[in-house]
């Protein structure tokens, strides 16, 4: 394949990856930003979202597009409810101590994963895309659904941004992020804000999963990769900075496709992992975040 | 804990499942079994972890084979039980499971594991416990000499023989310039090394070798690396993302020009050929260890086997036509159990003291004719390398079904012995 | 008289806040030197710079004529600068013995038990070795803190508001204790209790808005109108 | 005295158990003792010094491969290979520590996690040398120390016990030593400890290297005793397990790691007979521990009845 189309494909794939990364990571970033909680179970919320999408699309007698739309609404709601429950029952009682919450979310990770193994089984199962549409260029074909994923991610991220900057709830969340005690002094119910934030973060992971599952398969171990990638994006973008997260997702998504053309993909992963470690050590505010 | 320390409690679920068939028929067919202690076989099962999609069907096949053996009078007139233990597809747990099956459940031998790292992690312990360890793995580790005299692979041909016997037909019928796509770990490397060697020996050329990390979930970006003058695209993928790989391959080529595609059925094992996005596979070819779609020339016992394991003529579960079996591999469990029966009977196996005799009896096996017990076809066992050799199939996708177009010869898969276990001490 | 510790144009700003702003300061060997000033005057920042808890922005710190400006805190401790915290900062889950032993063994690993006994005897906590520090009364915790400082056998002991929260009776004992330390040890004291300062200090330095407002003996400071204005503020005006 | 007597009694009891236990459980106990040494190493970092690491798998794997690779490629005998394994654990811990210890708390956890992940991927990347995902078998002929064949049950148990006893007694000595006191001081209040003249970075680095030596020794011995070296031991799961052992047994207790390793091993062994989802138990215990018993079993006992327990 000549260089032009090659680059086009790399850019297309990079954009899809960036969109998916941004959507998956933004929830993690939000939870860390507002609650200072590193949610290691984030990938499992993603996975539960995908598995719920399988259940909904399999058992609802609607055409694929409709049942997928239903899944897009129901799965995040259920996941958000699970997250709110986990927050109330577990994280709140730990008073959000950073280290204890990490251990607890590792525990939640195993519990969710194993619960899905029991209820859903170990198989990878496909979820049909809401529509099948292939774009044919002179050099290669491309999935139209993937382009839809990019558009949908953009729309959802815009909605999140509007919610955070324009709505009262978003304002309350940002106030709590700045100072939990002052927020409490102003009569903000911090417990509810936290539960809501945790639910929102998990719900966003589930939305990402429902969008992505038609191009992957629902599998009980699928949460591992999104978790690590989200970590990479959130840390390089600056812990807790949503804008940094988005920039990092774009940079990493676009560069990953190109880098893995020149290096072995395993080597690319090694370099990305080490980069994260080095960023935390030498530039904890992230590469794109403002200085704390 | 105290209960456990007595060493008496068996795995409840495993005993219920494993013994169910045996005990039922025990009272029915052969009343003398009332006195005969059962032969206990341990099954090291990938019930969870990355190998679980295979594990489920391996368990089902083992149950079916067990029922058949017991219905036919058991082994040496004794009923047979299988104790299943999950190894989580993890080598550390695998070794512990070998220990548990041997010493806590007092199994006579162990069989069943598929994934290479589990086999290699568990085999040393089996060797130390001097318990026969019959793997259903395809890996080249047994015949490659990595393991020990107690480890054997009598139920399925190894990867090296499989890929080597594909090369002549691929070169003659599909093209000479090959690009390979394979997972970047040992199983994929065996494909890479042995197929490349066979292609070069046959006068072809491997243009590119594209290794994909096992954790990858999206593949499109690898596809531009396929050189445009590729005549044959050779693919083999394993794991939960296989369907994504094949679908994205289809999207990439779309309706444009594409090379001949030759894949190992591993890329689509447990996947429905009718899944949306797989239409482009029409006319492409697959290696199959055992033909998923029942072929017109299939022998009578093929139907018996399918009924026993609960699989219909399309390779799907009889209870759910969308639940596709790992048909191309799971026969290895069935055949291994029949090797166990034959080996034990020829060794006059009485108990754990005869384990060495059992290994020697299997080593003495040579030609194994096709039958219901060896449903995949005729085999030749090499007692020196502990590896069995069999026929391989190439099928073409026609109307969403896999139609056999070629059967390799036994000689196609043969290679020089890398090890002689029969001279090693026990 | 020899200066044991000296700062030259010592400066540290936090954003726009000039917490310590060009301070030239001398600590004379063997004296009890008090550092006073209104809240936010920069006292704690200043001693934090001396002890190395906060990095210096510009200026110099000398210890017996040798520059220690960029020496890390733990190294300054080994050079003889000890600091006790404003808020009691003993290890509550460790025994009294372990608390003092940590200080003693930091200076010298030999005869830790004897050193501990000596330091505890000095502050009057003998017999409490086995108790968990967190179970002590507040006054005893302050004494323990002081014993930890003593066990380091410092040349300069910086006490950050040591009498805060002590009962009147305890303060008398504290005074006796501090007096017993000089002249072997030089004491730098941050204190709000003016009565105590006037009674105890040989020398007083007044900080205001990060700068030295005045320096002198208690009598000199007492008569200084600028100090009265800045520090005692409304109190002076009411006269 | 009471303390040393208790720990020596534990060692003696473990020695006696090999003659009493059925062979299945004896081998399990040999495994548990080696895993307990791994957990003791984790405990030195986490329990005593307060370093909550998510990367200890890479130290264990460093020890395992540090032992296994020279045996495989250079035909080394077991004893020198054990020493390289031990050293590899310490070296990797030192290298990770030099960078990771510039961070603290949550960042430290993530940095160690990332280093461990990078280590795992490196093992895969250099598969030609390391055996990649498959790993490799340590030949029985290479598994002898002083003429004892460690692939046999008796010598294996004694070897595991020897390592365990050495680790237990040296750990006991360490935590009761002046340096042990400093490690605890660092955990309790780093700022205060600095003002007592201790360099936090140095103390934590030494603690982490010792922790890595323990983990490396455990990895090397595990590979040697059970004859297999593989990259799965570098996965995140093997960082979480020692954390679980320590949290369950009691962080900052000398015997906690043994207790934790034994309880978790049998929890998994027993529950796997009843359910596929036996790792659910691991998750639920982590949550339950941080919620209801952050001090673990021995930590709670120490608090309630036996304050003298080290």
Token pair of D70 as six digits: 């020279």
Identify which of D181, D185, D194 has the shortest CB distance to residue C74. D194
pLDDT exceeds cutoff 60 at D40: yes
Nearest CA-CA distance, residue A272 and chain D, Å: 9
pLDDT exceeds cutoff 70 at D108: yes
Identify which of D178, D184, D197 has the shortest CB distance to residue C78. D197
Identify which of D185, D197, D200 has the shortest CB distance to residue C91. D185
Name the neighbours of C, counting chains with at least 3 Cβ pairs within 8 A: D
CA nearest to A41 within chain D: D283
Identify which of D103, D106, D291 has the shortest CB distance to residue A94. D291
CA-to-CA separations, A178 to A16, A99, A284, A288, in angstroms, rounded: 33, 20, 18, 20
Identify which of A94, A102, A228 has the shortest CB distance to residue D117. A228
Together in a domain, C56 and C159 = yes
Average pLDDT over residues A276-290: 80
Residues C111-123 have pLDDT tens digits of: 999 999 999 999 9
In angstroms, the CA C106 to CA C111 distance is 12
Identify which of D28, D226, D266 has the shortest CB distance to residue B124. D226
Residue D287 is predicted with a pLDDT of 94
**Nearest alpha-carbon partner for B250 in B269, B270, B229, B267:** B267
Q: Which residues of A touch B251 (CB under 8 A)?
A: 134, 141-143
**How many CA atoms lie within 13 Å of A159's alpha carbon, on the beta-carbon side?**
10
Residue window 100-129, chain B: list those with CB within 8 Å of chain D. 100, 103-104, 116-117, 120-125, 127-128
Whether residue B95 lies within 8 A of chain D, CB to CB, comes out as yes
CA nearest to D203 within chain C: C74
- Percentages helix, strand, coil for chain A, rounded to the nearest 5? 75, 5, 20
Whether residue A281 lies within 8 A of chain D, CB to CB, comes out as yes
Going from N- to C-terminal start, the domains of chain A cover 3-127+139-282
Nearest CA-CA distance, residue A178 and chain B, Å: 37
**Domain boundary pick from C118, C133, C153:** C153
Nearest CA-CA distance, residue D199 and chain C, Å: 6
Average pLDDT over residues A213-238: 88
Inter-chain residue contact B117 with D140, CB threshold 8 Å: no
Residue B30 is predicted with a pLDDT of 43
Greater confidence (D221 vs A168) lies with D221
Average pLDDT over residues D75-99: 97
Lookup result for tokens 């159990």: B337
Q: Which residues of B touch D132 (CB under 8 A)?
A: 185-186, 189
Inter-chain residue contact A281 with D291, CB threshold 8 Å: no
Check if CATH label 1.10.10 holds for domain A3-127+139-282: no
Average pLDDT over residues D136-155: 92
Residues A11-38 have pLDDT tens digits of: 888 888 899 889 889 999 999 888 888 8
Together in a domain, C149 and C166 = no
Residue window 97-116, chain C: list those with CB within 8 Å of chain D. 98, 101-103, 105-107, 109, 112
Whether residue D291 lies within 8 A of chain A, CB to CB, comes out as yes
Q: Which domain holds residue C124?
A: 89-153
Q: Which residues of B touch D228 (CB under 8 A)?
A: 91, 95, 120-122, 124
Inter-chain residue contact B90 with D140, CB threshold 8 Å: no
How sure is the predictor about A48, in pLDDT bands with cuts at 50, 70 and 90? very high
Q: Which residues of A touch B220 (CB under 8 A)?
A: 9, 13, 142
The alpha carbon of B247 is separated from its chain's Cα centroid by a whole number of angstroms, namely 25
Residue window 151-210, chain B: list those with CB within 8 Å of chain D. 184-186, 189
CA nearest to A86 within chain D: D287
Residue C59 is predicted with a pLDDT of 94
In angstroms, the CA B128 to CA D150 distance is 10
Residue window 243-272, chain A: list those with CB within 8 Å of chain D. 264, 266-267, 269-270
Residue A287 is predicted with a pLDDT of 75
Helix axes D200-226, D78-100, angle to 10 degrees: 150
How sure is the predictor about C1, in pLDDT bands with cuts at 50, 70 and 90? low
Number of residues that this document lists for chain A: 292
Q: What is the ipTM, given to two decimal places?
A: 0.89
Which of C162-176, C224-238, D182-196 is predicted most confidently? D182-196
Together in a domain, C74 and C171 = yes
Helix (H, G, I), strand (E, B) or coil at D146: coil
- Residues in Cβ contact with A249 at an 8 Å cutoff, skipping those fewer than 6 apart: A18, A19, A21, A22, A25, A233, A237
Number of domains in chain C: 2
In angstroms, the CA B27 to CA B25 distance is 5
Query: Which residue segments constitute the domains of chain B, with CATH numbers given?
Result: 10-156+327-389 (3.40.50.2300), 160-321 (3.40.50.2300)
pLDDT exceeds cutoff 90 at C105: yes
Residue C42 gets the label, from left (phi > 0), alpha (psi -120 to 50) or beta, of: left
Average pLDDT over residues A117-122: 89
Contacts by D162-165 with C-beta closer than 8 Å and gap 24+?
A: D163/D33, D163/D34, D163/D37, D163/D217, D163/D218, D163/D221, D164/D11, D164/D14, D164/D33, D164/D34, D164/D36, D164/D37, D164/D258, D165/D11, D165/D14
Q: Which residues of A touch B49 (CB under 8 A)?
A: 122, 221
Residue B185 is predicted with a pLDDT of 84
Inter-chain residue contact A136 with B213, CB threshold 8 Å: no
Greater confidence (C237 vs B120) lies with B120
Kindly give the confidence (pLDDT) of every residue in chain B, 426 residues in length, as a single tens digit, with 9 standing for 90 and above.
333 333 333 344 444 444 444 444 444 444 444 457 899 999 999 998 888 888 989 999 999 999 999 999 999 999 999 999 999 999 999 999 999 999 999 999 999 999 999 999 999 999 999 999 999 998 899 999 989 999 999 999 999 999 999 999 999 999 999 999 999 888 899 999 999 999 999 999 999 999 988 778 888 888 888 898 999 999 998 877 888 888 889 888 887 888 999 999 988 888 888 887 788 889 999 999 999 999 999 999 999 999 999 999 999 999 989 889 999 999 999 999 999 999 999 999 999 999 999 999 999 999 999 999 999 999 999 999 999 999 999 999 998 899 999 999 999 999 999 999 999 988
Mean pLDDT of chain C: 88
Phi, psi of D136 (to 5 degrees): -150, 160
How sure is the predictor about C109, in pLDDT bands with cuts at 50, 70 and 90? confident
Average pLDDT over residues A262-290: 81
Identify which of D103, D243, D275 has the shortest CB distance to residue A280. D103
**Nearest alpha-carbon partner for D125 in C82, A291, A79, A263:** A263
Together in a domain, C46 and C3 = yes
In angstroms, the CA A260 to CA A244 distance is 23
Helix axes D56-74, D237-249, angle to 10 degrees: 120
Q: Which residues of A touch D248 (CB under 8 A)?
A: none
Residue A257 is predicted with a pLDDT of 67
Structural contact between residues B178 and B210, judged by C-beta atoms closer than 8 angstroms: no
Residues C134-146 have pLDDT tens digits of: 999 988 998 899 9
DSSP B34: G
Mean pLDDT of chain D: 94
**Nearest alpha-carbon partner for B345 in B335, B353, B357:** B357
Greater confidence (C194 vs B103) lies with B103
Q: Which residues of A touch D102 (CB under 8 A)?
A: 281-282
Nearest CA-CA distance, residue C115 and chain D, Å: 14
Nearest CA-CA distance, residue A39 and chain B, Å: 22
What's the CATH code of the domain at C44? 3.40.50.300
Together in a domain, C149 and C171 = no
For chain D, list residues whose CB is within 8 angstroms of any CB belonging to chain C. 178, 181-182, 184-185, 188-189, 191-200
Q: Which residues of A touch D276 (CB under 8 A)?
A: 117-118, 122
**Domain boundary pick from C119, C153, C187:** C153
The alpha carbon of D299 is separated from its chain's Cα centroid by a whole number of angstroms, namely 18
Least confident of C21-35, C216-230, D145-159: C216-230
**Domain boundary pick from C153, C187, C207:** C153
Inter-chain residue contact D277 with A117, CB threshold 8 Å: yes
Residue B51 is predicted with a pLDDT of 86
Residue B287 is predicted with a pLDDT of 95
Q: Parallel, antiparallel, or unpaired: how do β-strands C203-208 and C32-36 relate?
A: parallel
Interface test with D, best of B8, B96, B144, B185 (most D CBs within 10 A): B96
Together in a domain, C108 and C226 = no
Together in a domain, C147 and C167 = no
Residue C239 is predicted with a pLDDT of 38
Helix (H, G, I), strand (E, B) or coil at D51: coil
How sure is the predictor about D81, in pLDDT bands with cuts at 50, 70 and 90? very high
CA nearest to A94 within chain D: D291
Whether residue C74 lies within 8 A of chain D, CB to CB, comes out as yes
CA nearest to D195 within chain C: C74
Query: Concatenated DSSP letters for C90-158?
Result: --TTSBHHHHHHHHHHHH-STTHHHHHHHHHHHHT-TT-TTSBGGGS-HHHHHHHHHHHHHHT--SEEE
DSSP A60: S
């Amino acid at each position: 394949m000549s260089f032009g189309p090659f680059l086009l494909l790399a850019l297309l794939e990079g954009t899809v990856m960036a969109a998916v990364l941004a959507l998956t990571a933004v929830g993690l970033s939000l939870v860390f930003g507002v609650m200072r909680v590193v949610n290691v179970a984030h990938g499992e919320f993603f996975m539960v979202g995908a598995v719920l999408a399988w259940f909904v699309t399999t058992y609802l007698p609607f055409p694929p597009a409709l049942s997928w739309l239903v899944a897009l609404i129901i799965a995040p709601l259920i996941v958000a409810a699970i997250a709110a429950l986990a927050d109330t029952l577990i994280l709140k009682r730990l008073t959000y101590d950073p280290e204890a919450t990490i251990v607890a979310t590792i525990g939640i990770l195993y519990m969710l994963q194993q619960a899905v193994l029991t209820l859903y089984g170990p198989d990878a199962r496909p979820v049909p895309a809401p529509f099948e549409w292939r774009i044919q260029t002179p050099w290669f074909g491309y999935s139209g659904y993937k382009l839809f994923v990019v558009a949908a991610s953009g729309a959802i991220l815009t909605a999140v941004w509007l919610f955070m900057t324009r709505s009262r709830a978003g304002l309350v969340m940002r106030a709590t992020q700045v100072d939990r005690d002052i927020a409490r002094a102003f009569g903000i119910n911090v417990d509810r804000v936290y539960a809501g934030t945790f639910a929102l973060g998990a719900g966003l992971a589930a939305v990402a999963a429902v969008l992505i599952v038609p191009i992957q398969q629902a599998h009980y171990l699928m949460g591992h990769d999104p978790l690590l990638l989200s970590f990479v994006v959130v840390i390089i973008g600056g812990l807790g900075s949503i804008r940094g997260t988005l920039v990092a997702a774009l940079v990493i998504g676009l560069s990953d496709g190109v880098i893995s053309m020149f290096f072995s993909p395993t080597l690319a992963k090694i370099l990305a992992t080490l980069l994260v470690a080095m960023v935390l050590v030498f530039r904890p505010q992230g590469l794109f975040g403002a200085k704390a | 804990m105290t209960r456990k320390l007595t060493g008496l409690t068996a795995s409840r679920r495993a005993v219920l499942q494993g013994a169910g068939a045996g005990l039922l028929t025990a009272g029915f067919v052969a009343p003398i079994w009332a006195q005969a202690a059962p032969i206990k076989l341990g099954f090291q099962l990938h019930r969870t972890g990355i190998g679980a999609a295979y594990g489920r069907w391996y368990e089902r096949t083992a149950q079916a084979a067990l029922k058949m053996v017991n219905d036919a009078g058991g082994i040496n007139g004794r009923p047979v039980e299988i104790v299943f233990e999950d190894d989580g597809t993890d080598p550390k747990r695998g070794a512990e499971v070998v220990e548990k099956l041997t010493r806590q459940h007092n199994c006579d031998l162990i069989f069943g594991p598929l994934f290479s790292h589990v086999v290699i992690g568990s085999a040393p312990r089996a060797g130390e416990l001097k318990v026969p360890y019959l793997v259903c793995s395809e890996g080249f580790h047994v015949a490659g000499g990595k393991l020990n005299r107690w480890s054997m692979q009598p139920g399925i041909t190894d990867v090296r023989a499989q890929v080597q016997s594909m090369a002549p037909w691929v070169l003659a019928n599909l093209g000479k310039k090959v690009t390979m796509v394979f997972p970047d770990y040992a199983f994929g490397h065996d494909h890479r090394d042995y197929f490349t060697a066979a292609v070069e020996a046959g006068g072809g050329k491997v243009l590119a070798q594209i290794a994909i990390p096992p954790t990858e979930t999206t593949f499109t970006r690898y596809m531009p690396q396929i050189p445009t003058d590729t005549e044959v695209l050779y693919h083999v993928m394993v794991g939960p993302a296989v369907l994504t790989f094949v679908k994205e391959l289809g999207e990439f080529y779309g309706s444009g020009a594409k090379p001949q595609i030759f894949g190992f059925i591993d890329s689509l094992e447990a996947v429905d050929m009718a899944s949306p996005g797989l239409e482009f596979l029409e006319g492409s070819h697959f290696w199959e260890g055992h033909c998923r779609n029942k072929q017109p020339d299939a022998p009578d016992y093929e139907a018996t086997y399918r009924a026993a394991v609960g699989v219909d003529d399309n390779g799907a579960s009889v209870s759910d036509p969308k639940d596709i079996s790992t048909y191309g591999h799971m026969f290895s469990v069935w055949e291994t159990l029949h090797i166990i029966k034959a080996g034990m009977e020829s060794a006059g196996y009485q108990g754990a003291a005869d384990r060495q005799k059992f290994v020697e009896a299997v080593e003495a096996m040579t030609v194994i004719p096709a039958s219901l017990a060896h449903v995949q076809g005729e085999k030749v066992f090499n007692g020196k390398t502990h590896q069995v050799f069999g026929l391989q199939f190439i099928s073409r996708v026609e109307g969403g079904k896999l139609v056999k177009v070629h059967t390799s010869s036994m000689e196609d898969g043969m290679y020089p012995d890398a090890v002689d276990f029969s001279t090693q001490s026990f | 008289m020899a200066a044991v510790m000296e700062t030259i144009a010592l400066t540290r700003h936090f954003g726009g806040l000039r917490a310590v702003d060009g301070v030239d300061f001398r600590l004379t060997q063997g004296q009890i030197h008090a550092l006073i000033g209104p809240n936010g005057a920069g006292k704690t920042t200043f001693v934090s710079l001396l002890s190395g808890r906060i990095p210096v922005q510009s200026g110099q710190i000398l210890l017996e004529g040798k520059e220690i400006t960029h020496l890390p805190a733990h190294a300054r401790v080994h050079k003889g600068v000890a600091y006790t915290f404003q808020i009691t900062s003993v290890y509550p889950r460790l025994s009294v013995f372990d608390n003092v032993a940590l200080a003693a063994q930091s200076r010298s690993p030999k005869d830790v038990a004897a050193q501990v006994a000596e330091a505890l005897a000095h502050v009057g906590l003998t017999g409490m070795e086995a108790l968990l520090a967190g179970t002590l009364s507040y006054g005893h915790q302050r004494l323990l803190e002081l014993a930890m400082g003593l066990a380091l056998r410092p040349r300069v002991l910086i006490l950050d508001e040591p009498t805060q929260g002590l009962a009147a009776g305890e303060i008398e004992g504290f005074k006796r204790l501090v007096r017993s330390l000089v002249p072997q040890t030089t004491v730098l004291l941050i204190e709000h209790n003016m009565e105590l300062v006037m009674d105890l200090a040989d020398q007083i330095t007044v900080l205001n808005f990060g700068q030295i407002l005045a320096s002198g003996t208690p009598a000199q400071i007492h008569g200084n109108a600028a100090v009265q204005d800045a520090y005692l503020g409304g109190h002076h005006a009411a006269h | 005295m009471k303390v040393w007597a208790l720990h020596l009694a534990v060692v003696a009891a473990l020695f006696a158990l090999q003659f009493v236990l059925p062979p299945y459980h004896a081998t399990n106990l040999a495994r548990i003792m080696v895993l307990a040494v791994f957990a003791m190493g984790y405990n030195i970092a986490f329990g005593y010094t307060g370093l909550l690491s998510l990367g200890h798998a890479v130290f264990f794997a460093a020890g395992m491969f540090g032992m296994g690779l020279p045996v495989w490629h250079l035909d080394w005998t077991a004893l020198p290979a054990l020493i390289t394994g031990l050293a590899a654990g310490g070296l990797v811990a030192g290298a990770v520590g030099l960078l990771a210890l510039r961070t603290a708390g949550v960042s430290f956890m993530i940095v160690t996690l990332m280093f461990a992940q990078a280590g795992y991927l490196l093992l895969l990347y250099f598969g030609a040398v390391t055996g990649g995902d498959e790993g490799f078998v340590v030949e029985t002929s290479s598994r002898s120390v002083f003429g004892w064949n460690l692939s046999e049950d008796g010598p294996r148990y004694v070897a595991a016990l020897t390592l365990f006893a050495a680790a237990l007694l040296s750990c006991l000595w360490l935590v009761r030593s002046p340096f042990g006191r400093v490690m605890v001081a660092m955990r309790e209040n780093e700022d205060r400890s600095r003002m007592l003249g201790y360099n936090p970075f140095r103390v934590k680095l030494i603690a982490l290297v010792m922790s890595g030596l323990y983990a490396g020794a455990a990895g090397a011995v595990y590979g040697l005793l059970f004859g297999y070296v593989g990259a799965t031991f570098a996965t995140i799961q093997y960082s979480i397990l020692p954390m679980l052992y320590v949290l369950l047994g009691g962080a900052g207790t000398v015997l906690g790691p043994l207790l934790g390793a034994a309880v978790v091993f049998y929890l998994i062994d027993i529950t796997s007979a009843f359910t596929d989802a036996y790792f659910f138990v691991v998750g639920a215990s982590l949550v339950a521990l941080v919620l209801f018993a952050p001090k673990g079993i021995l930590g709670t006992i120490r608090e309630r009845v036996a304050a003298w327990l080290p």
